[in-house]
C-alpha cells in the first residue's frame, strides 16, 4: 500500500523552482523527509494537503488525488506546522477541542478524543492552564496533539524537534515513533537534521533543491558493521591512556580511527570497527592489561550521514575515474573542478565526524548538517 | 511526586470510528465559537468584561426610556427605533474596535490560520463564518435594546400597529448596519494583525469618517446648499445607514436640517452599502489567499 505517491511533481514560483520533477512512493510507517532549509519540504507538504496546486505532475495521498480531493485528504490527515501556532490565552484542552471540531468531530467525541490525545502526548494537569505559560516542549506536544486529535491515517510533522533541548528532542522523537507503533498512524516527518531521523524513521527521503536525492529504508543505511567508541582514563604508567590503547591495539593488528581533530576532549575517544564479538573481548583484555580505567565503551551505529558520505565518495570516485579516462588527452579544466569539489566534500565529511566524540547527545545534530552540505556539493557536481 | 500512590493506567490508543461531520459542520462550529468569543464566552473572565459592559451600556438607555414612558404614560417613545443605533453609535464603534481584531487578528497573529486550512474547511468557509459571527454579534448588540424598547412600548400600551412597524423597520436597519460595520471592521483588522493597531484603525475609520462627514454637512447647511448634505452622507458608514433608513425605512434623518436623501438618492445609498459589504467580503477572501500555510 502506498500512502503518498508523487509523479514528476514540480512547483515553480516566478523566481524559484521549489520542486523539480519529484517522483517517489512512500509506504506506511515513519518516513523522514530530509533537506536543508529551502529544499522544498514545506512546499511539498502544502501540495500534499491540497492547499497549493502543483505546476506539473501528480500527487496522491492515501490514494486520493491532491488536485481534486483536497477536502477529503485533509479530513484524514493531520498537520503540525513548523512555526508557533497556538493562541496563548486559551488552555490546551479548549484549543484542541476546538481543533477537533474543526476536523468534523461531534462535540462529545471532540472532548473525549482531546482528553485521550493530550494524555498520549504527555500533557496531564497542565492542560487546563493557558498555553501562554507552557514551555517549548509542552507547546510542541499541544501542536502534535491537535494534529492527532481527529485520529488521522497520516500526519505531516514539519520540524517537530525545532527549538527543543536534547532531552525534549529525544522525547519528541520517541513520541513520533509511538505515533506509528502504538497508534498505527503513518508519519511523514521533516527535518534538516539527518541524524535525528535515523533513530525514528523506517524510511528516509532526502531532497535538495526540490530534487530527490535518495530514498531508501533506514535499515539499508545503518545495517553495516557497528563502530565501537572507547574512552579510557590515564594512569601513572600510561600518562596518555588513549595513545597507549591505540598503540596496543595497533600491535594486535586492530585498526583504530582517530577521532581527534583539535576539539577539547575529542582525542580521548578511540573508534574501531567491531567485526565480531571477539573484538569486544579483545578490547576488554587490552584495556585490562594496560591497567587503564574504562570510562565508556559504546556501540555506535553507523549514522545515515556516513552512509551518504560513502555514497557520495563512491560517485565522486567513479566520476573522477571516468573523467580521467575521458579527459586524459584534453585535461579538461572541469576535471580539476570536480576533483576539487570532491576533496571539499570529503573535507566537509571529515569535519562532520569530529564533534561526534565530544557529546553523544549532540551527535545527530552536529554530524548531519555538514553532511547535507557535502550532499549539496555532490548534487551540484551531478548537475554539472 | 506521588507516582507510587496514583497511577495512570495506559489503556492504549483508541481509534476513532465515529462520524466525521465534514466541512459544513466545521464552518458552523467556527461560527458559534467566534460568536461566543465576541462576547468573551469560552474565554478568560477578563475578556468578558468589555463586551458585557458595552452590552449593558447599549441597553441601559432603552430601559430608562421604557421606564419613563411607562411612568409618564407617554403617547410615544422618546426615541425612534431607527434612531437608537445612530444615537449610540459611539458604543457600537467601541464594541467593534474591541471585538473585530479579536475575531480575526488573533488567528493571524498567532498563526493559527494554517491549522484551519489544513482541515476540511476552505478559505471561503472561514471568511463566511467569521463575517457571519461578527455580524450576528453586532446584531445582538443593536437589536437587544430595540427589543427592550418594543416590549416596554407594549407594556405602556402604546399603539400596537405603529410600534410593530417601527420595530420591524428598526430591526431591518440594524441588521444592515451590523453586516456593513462588521465587514468594514473585519477587513481593517485582517490587514492589521497587531491588535492595538487594529483597534485604533477601526475606531479611526468609523469615527473620523463620521466626524468629517458631519462637519462638512454642517458647513453645507450653514451655506444653505441643502442638496449637497444628502450626497455627503455617502462617505461614512453611519450616515450611509442613516440615509438608507431615511429613504426607505420611515426614519427621520439625523443629517443637519433633516436633509435626508430622497427615494432616488436612497437607491444610490443602498447600492453603495451593498457594494461596501461585497467589497469587504471580497477583500477578506483576498487577504486569506495569502495567509494560508
Tens of pLDDT, residue by residue over A81-105, are 999 999 998 999 999 999 999 999 9
Out of A32-36, A110-114, A252-256, B182-186, least confident range: A252-256
Closest Cβ–Cβ partner in B42, B112, B120 for A85: B112
Closest Cβ–Cβ partner in B12, B43, B110 for A85: B110
Mean pLDDT of B264-290: 92
Whether residue A322 sits in one domain with residue A296: no
Tell me whether A282 touches chain B (CB under 8 Å).
Answer: no
CA distance B127 to chain A (A): 14
Kindly calculate the radius of gyration of chain B based on its CA atoms and give it in whole angstroms: 23
Full domain range(s) for residue A167: 4-220
Scanning every residue of chain B, which has its alpha carbon at the shortest distance from the alpha carbon of A105?
Answer: B20
- Tell which wins on pLDDT, B201 or A228: B201
Whether residue A61 sits in one domain with residue A35: yes
Whether residue A118 sits in one domain with residue A8: yes
Scanning every residue of chain B, which has its alpha carbon at the shortest distance from the alpha carbon of A185?
Answer: B15
Contact B258, B247 (CB under 8 A): no
Mean pLDDT of A148-167: 92
Binning pLDDT at 50, 70 and 90, where does residue A342 land? Answer: very low
Out of A46-50, A241-245, B159-163, least confident range: A241-245
Scanning every residue of chain A, which has its alpha carbon at the shortest distance from the alpha carbon of B26?
Answer: A102
Mean pLDDT of B247-276: 87
Scanning every residue of chain B, which has its alpha carbon at the shortest distance from the alpha carbon of A180?
Answer: B13
Scanning every residue of chain B, which has its alpha carbon at the shortest distance from the alpha carbon of A73?
Answer: B120
ipTM of the complex in this document: 0.88
CA distance B130 to chain A (A): 14
Give contacts of B110 with chain A, Cβ < 8 Å.
Answer: 84-88
Whether residue A60 sits in one domain with residue A164: yes
Q: What pLDDT score was predicted for residue A349?
A: 40
Instruction: Give dist(CA A157, CA A162) in Å, integer.
Output: 11
- Per the prediction, chain A carries an average pLDDT of 77
Whether residue A235 sits in one domain with residue A194: no
Give contacts of B293 with chain A, Cβ < 8 Å.
Answer: 42, 45-46, 49, 51-52, 81
Give contacts of A113 with chain B, Cβ < 8 Å.
Answer: 16
Q: Which residues pair with B212 in a beta bridge?
A: none
Give contacts of A84 with chain B, Cβ < 8 Å.
Answer: 110-111
Instruction: Give dist(CA B38, CA B30) in Å, integer.
Output: 12
Instruction: Give dist(CA B110, CA A85) in Å, integer.
Output: 5
pLDDT at B129 over 90: yes
Instruction: Give dist(CA A206, CA A216) in Å, integer.
Output: 9
Q: What pLDDT score was predicted for residue B133?
A: 97
Contact A151, A114 (CB under 8 A): no
Whether residue A181 sits in one domain with residue A320: no
Edge-to-edge strands of the sheet including A56-61? Answer: A17-26, A4-12, A56-61, A64-65
Whether residue A50 sits in one domain with residue A87: yes
Instruction: Give dist(CA A33, CA B119) in Å, integer.
Output: 22
CB-CB under 8 Å, A83 with B16: no
Whether residue A134 sits in one domain with residue A15: yes
Scanning every residue of chain A, which has its alpha carbon at the shortest distance from the alpha carbon of B107?
Answer: A87
Substitution target from A101, A125, A134 for chain B, most B beta carbons within 10 A: A101
Whether residue A318 sits in one domain with residue A276: no
Whether residue A249 sits in one domain with residue A166: no
Instruction: Output the 3-class SS for chain A.
Output: CCCEEEEEEEEECCCCEEEEEEEEEECCCEEEEECCCCCCHHHHHHHHCCCCCCCEEEEEECCEECCCCHHHHHHHEEEECCCCCCCCCCEHHHHHHHHHHHCCCCHHHHHHHHHHHHHHCCCCHHHHCEHHHCCHHHHHHHHHHHHHCCCCCEEEEECCCCCCCHHHHHHHHHHHHHHHHCCCCEEEEEECCHHHHHCCCCEEEEEECCEEEEEEEHHHHHCCCEEEEEEECCCCCCCCHHHHHHHHHHHCCCCEEECCCCCCCHHHEEEEEECCHHHHHHHHHHHHHHCCCEEEEEEECCCHHHHHHHHHHHHHHHHHHHHHHHCCCCCCHHHHHHHHHHHHHHHHHHHHHHHHHCCCCCHHHHHHHHHHHHHHHHHHHHHC
Residue A278 exposed, middle or buried by CB count within 10 Å (0-12, 13-18, 19+) = exposed
* Residue listed under C-alpha cell 461614512: B236
Q: State the Cα angle at A19 between A14 and A20, rounded to 5°.
A: 100
Q: What pLDDT score was predicted for residue A294?
A: 81
Mean pLDDT of B206-225: 89
Tell me whether A86 touches chain B (CB under 8 Å).
Answer: yes
Q: Which of A300, A331, A346 marks a domain boundary?
A: A300
Q: Three-class SS of residue B77?
A: coil
CA distance A74 to chain B (A): 5
Instruction: Give dist(CA A219, CA A239) in Å, integer.
Output: 41
CB-CB under 8 Å, B120 with A103: yes
pLDDT at B261 over 70: yes
DSSP state, residue B252: P
Instruction: Give dist(CA A43, CA A45) in Å, integer.
Output: 5
Q: Which residues pair with A228 in a beta bridge?
A: A272, A299
Q: Which of A187, A220, A253 marks a domain boundary?
A: A220
Domain count, chain A: 3
- Tell which wins on pLDDT, A162 or A352: A162
Give contacts of A183 with chain B, Cβ < 8 Å.
Answer: 13
Q: What pLDDT score was predicted for residue A45?
A: 92
Contact A85, A143 (CB under 8 A): yes
Whether residue A284 sits in one domain with residue A313: no
What's the pLDDT tens digit per position in A268-327? Answer: 777 777 777 778 888 888 888 888 888 777 766 555 555 455 556 556 666 666 655 554
Instruction: Give dist(CA B254, CA B134) in Å, integer.
Output: 26
Contact B43, A89 (CB under 8 A): yes
Q: What pLDDT score was predicted for residue A32?
A: 92
pLDDT at A131 over 80: yes
pLDDT at A347 over 90: no
- Tell which wins on pLDDT, A357 or B253: B253
What is the percent of chain A with per-residue pLDDT over 70, rounded to a whole number? 72
Q: Retrieve residue A120's grid coordinates.
A: 498520549
Mean pLDDT of A139-157: 96
State the CB neighbour count (10 A cutoff) for residue B179. 23
pLDDT at B251 over 60: yes
Instruction: Give dist(CA B242, CA B259) in Å, integer.
Output: 11
Q: Which one, of A294, A299, A251, A258, lies nearest residue A275 by Cα?
A: A299
pLDDT at A221 over 70: no
Q: Which of A300, A316, A334 marks a domain boundary?
A: A300
CB-CB under 8 Å, B33 with A74: no
> Can you give the CATH number for the domain in which A119 is found?
3.40.50.300
Selected residues 166-225 of chain B with any CB under 8 Å from a CB in chain A: none
What's the pLDDT tens digit per position in A38-74? Answer: 788 888 998 999 888 899 999 999 999 999 998 899 9
Chain A with chain B: Cβ pairs closer than 8 A: 108
Q: Which residues pair with A186 in a beta bridge?
A: A154
- Residues whose CB falls within 8 Å of the CB of residue B129, separated by 6 or more in sequence, listed in order: B27, B28, B30, B31, B34, B121
Instruction: Give dist(CA B55, CA B62) in Å, integer.
Output: 12
Scanning every residue of chain B, which has its alpha carbon at the shortest distance from the alpha carbon of A71?
Answer: B120
Cα atoms in the Cβ-side hemisphere of radius 13 Å centred on A349: 22
Instruction: Give dist(CA A236, CA A192) in Å, integer.
Output: 45
pLDDT at A355 over 60: no
CA distance A376 to chain B (A): 27
- Tell which wins on pLDDT, A259 or B239: B239
Whether residue A318 sits in one domain with residue A250: no
DSSP state, residue B258: G
Binning pLDDT at 50, 70 and 90, where does residue A335 land? Answer: very low
CA distance B14 to chain A (A): 8
CB-CB under 8 Å, B8 with A119: yes
Instruction: Give dist(CA A157, CA B114) in Å, integer.
Output: 13
Amino acid at each position: 500500500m502506498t500512502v503518498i505517491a508523487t509523479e514528476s511533481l514540480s512547483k515553480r514560483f516566478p523566481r524559484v523552482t521549489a520542486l523539480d520533477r519529484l517522483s517517489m512512493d512512500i509506504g506506511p510507517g515513519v518516513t523522514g523527509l530530509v533537506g536543508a532549509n529551502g529544499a522544498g519540504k514545506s512546499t511539498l507538504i502544502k501540495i500534499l494537503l491540497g492547499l497549493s496546486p502543483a505546476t506539473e505532475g501528480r500527487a496522491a495521498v492515501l490514494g486520493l488525488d491532491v488536485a481534486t480531493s483536497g477536502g477529503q485528504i485533509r479530513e484524514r490527515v493531520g498537520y503540525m506546522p513548523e512555526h508557533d501556532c497556538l493562541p496563548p490565552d486559551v488552555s490546551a484542552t479548549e484549543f484542541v477541542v476546538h481543533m477537533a471540531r474543526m476536523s468534523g468531530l461531534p462535540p462529545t467525541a471532540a472532548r473525549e478524543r482531546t482528553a485521550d490525545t493530550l494524555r498520549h502526548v504527555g500533557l496531564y494537569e497542565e492542560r487546563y492552564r493557558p498555553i501562554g505559560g507552557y514551555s517549548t516542549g509542552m507547546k510542541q506536544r499541544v501542536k502534535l496533539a491537535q494534529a492527532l486529535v481527529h485520529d488521522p491515517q497520516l500526519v505531516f510533522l514539519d520540524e517537530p524537534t525545532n527549538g527543543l533541548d536534547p532531552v525534549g528532542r529525544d522525547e519528541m522523537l520517541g513520541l513520533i515513533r509511538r505515533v506509528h507503533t502504538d497508534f498505527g498512524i503513518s508519519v511523514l516527518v521533516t527535518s534538516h537534521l539527518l541524524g535525528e531521523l535515523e533513530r525514528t524513521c523506517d524510511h528516509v527521503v532526502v531532497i535538495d533543491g526540490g530534487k530527490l536525492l535518495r530514498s531508501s529504508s533506514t535499515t539499508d543505511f545503518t545495517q553495516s558493521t557497528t563502530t565501537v567508541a572507547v574512552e579510557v582514563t590515564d594512569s601513572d604508567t600510561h600518562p596518555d591512556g588513549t595513545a597507549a590503547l591505540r598503540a596496543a591495539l595497533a600491535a594486535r593488528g586492530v585498526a583504530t580511527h582517530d577521532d581527534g581533530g583539535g576539539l577539547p576532549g575529542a582525542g580521548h575517544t578511540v573508534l574501531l570497527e567491531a567485526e565480531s564479538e571477539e573484538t569486544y573481548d579483545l578490547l576488554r583484555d587490552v584495556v585490562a592489561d594496560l591497567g587503564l580505567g574504562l570510562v565508556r565503551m559504546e556501540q555506535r551505529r553507523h549514522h545515515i550521514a556516513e552512509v551518504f558520505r560513502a555514497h557520495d565518495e563512491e560517485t565522486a570516485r567513479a566520476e573522477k575515474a571516468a573523467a580521467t579516462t575521458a579527459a586524459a588527452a584534453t585535461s579538461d579544466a572541469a576535471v580539476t573542478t570536480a576533483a576539487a569539489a570532491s576533496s571539499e566534500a570529503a573535507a566537509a565529511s571529515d569535519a562532520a565526524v569530529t564533534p561526534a566524540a565530544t557529546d553523544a547527545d549532540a551527535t545527530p545534530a552536529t554530524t548531519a548538517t555538514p553532511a547535507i552540505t557535502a550532499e549539496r556539493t555532490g548534487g551540484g557536481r551531478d548537475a554539472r | 511526586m506521588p507516582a507510587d500512590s496514583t497511577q495512570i493506567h495506559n489503556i492504549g490508543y483508541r481509534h476513532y470510528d465515529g462520524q466525521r461531520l465534514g466541512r459544513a459542520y466545521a464552518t458552523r462550529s467556527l461560527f458559534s465559537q467566534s460568536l461566543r468569543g465576541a462576547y468573551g464566552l469560552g474565554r478568560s473572565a477578563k475578556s468578558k468584561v468589555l463586551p458585557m459592559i458595552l452590552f449593558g451600556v447599549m441597553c441601559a438607555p432603552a430601559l430608562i426610556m421604557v421606564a419613563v414612558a411607562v411612568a409618564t404614560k407617554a403617547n410615544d417613545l422618546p426615541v425612534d427605533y431607527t434612531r437608537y443605533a445612530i444615537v449610540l453609535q459611539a458604543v457600537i464603534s467601541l464594541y467593534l474596535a474591541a471585538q473585530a481584531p479579536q475575531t480575526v487578528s488573533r488567528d493571524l497573529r498567532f498563526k493559527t490560520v494554517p491549522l484551519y486550512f489544513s482541515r476540511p474547511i476552505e478559505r471561503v468557509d472561514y471568511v463566511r463564518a467569521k463575517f457571519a459571527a461578527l455580524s450576528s454579534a453586532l446584531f445582538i448588540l443593536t437589536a437587544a435594546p430595540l427589543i427592550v424598547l418594543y416590549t416596554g412600548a407594549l407594556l405602556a400600551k402604546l399603539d400596537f400597529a405603529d410600534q410593530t412597524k417601527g420595530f420591524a423597520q428598526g430591526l431591518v436597519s440594524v441588521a444592515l448596519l451590523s453586516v456593513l460595520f462588521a465587514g468594514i471592521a473585519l477587513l481593517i483588522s485582517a490587514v492589521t494583525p497587531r491588535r492595538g493597531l487594529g483597534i485604533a484603525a477601526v475606531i479611526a475609520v468609523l469615527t473620523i469618517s463620521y466626524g468629517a462627514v458631519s462637519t462638512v454637512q454642517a458647513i453645507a447647511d450653514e451655506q444653505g446648499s441643502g442638496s449637497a448634505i444628502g450626497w455627503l452622507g455617502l462617505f461614512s458608514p453611519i450616515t450611509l445607514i442613516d440615509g438608507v433608513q431615511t429613504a426607505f425605512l420611515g426614519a427621520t434623518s439625523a443629517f443637519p436640517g433633516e436633509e435626508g436623501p430622497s427615494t432616488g438618492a436612497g437607491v444610490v445609498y443602498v447600492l453603495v452599502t451593498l457594494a461596501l459589504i461585497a467589497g469587504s467580503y471580497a477583500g477578506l477572501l483576498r487577504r486569506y489567499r495569502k495567509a494560508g500555510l
